[in-house]
Amino acid sequence: MLIGSAVGLLAGVGSTVLVHERIRPDVVIALVVGIPSMIGLLVILLSGRRWVTMLGAFILALAPGCFGVLVAIQVASRG
């Protein structure tokens, strides 16, 4: 999960560099937190092997890392 959070941080930084469009904050929160959380939970619930459970935990851990970067950038840009 620690690696998933680190990859989430990198994904958050990469997405802010690549995307320059104005997007509503509620849509961003739904995309960044909702999609990886739902996919990760489904993978964990439907897993039959240990490595699939690990993959689900990795996907689930992407959301907080990416969300943390986006919140930090929002706070820094708004003062």
Ordered mean pLDDT values, 10 residues apiece, the chain (79 residues):
84 82 82 90 94 93 87 78
Rounded CA separation 26/33 (Å): 10
Tokens of 52: 């699939």
Q: What's the pTM?
A: 0.78
Res 42: pLDDT: 96
Write the single-letter amino acid at 64: P
Res 43: pLDDT: 95
Res 20: pLDDT: 80
Res 79: pLDDT: 54
Rounded CA separation 16/57 (Å): 24
The residue length of the chain stands at: 79
